Amino acid sequence: MIVWLFATIALGGVCETPTTTDDIVRHLLAAEDAYKALEVEAFTQSVDESRLVLGCLDSPISTDMAAWYHRPAHRARRELVS
């Protein structure tokens, strides 16, 4: 429990409104769509929003979702904006 509290604070502080895994899925899907369409601004925004959502999740995510979050398309943000 303490680790979860420290992770939440480190990622985004104490959240006023907890988010759910549905929220992060929505942002990750939007990031993938923007990546495929080579829409740099939309991709960057979706990745940034997924990062904010991650810090406010109301429960731990599955290992599959953690892997999805860290996939190369997510990390491609550096490639698209550099």
2-11, 20-29, 43-52: the lowest-pLDDT one? 2-11
Split at pLDDT 50, 70, 90, the class of 55 is confident
Q: Output the pLDDT for position 15.
A: 79
Token pair of 61, please?
Answer: 């995510």
**18-41 burial code (b ≥16 CB/10 A, e <16):** ebeeebbebbbebbbebbeeeeee
Q: Output the pLDDT for position 74.
A: 53
Q: Output the pLDDT for position 75.
A: 61
Q: How far apart are CA 6 and CA 39, in angstroms?
A: 34
Residues 42, 34 contacting (CB under 8 angstroms):
yes
pLDDT tens, 26-48? 999 998 899 889 898 998 899 88
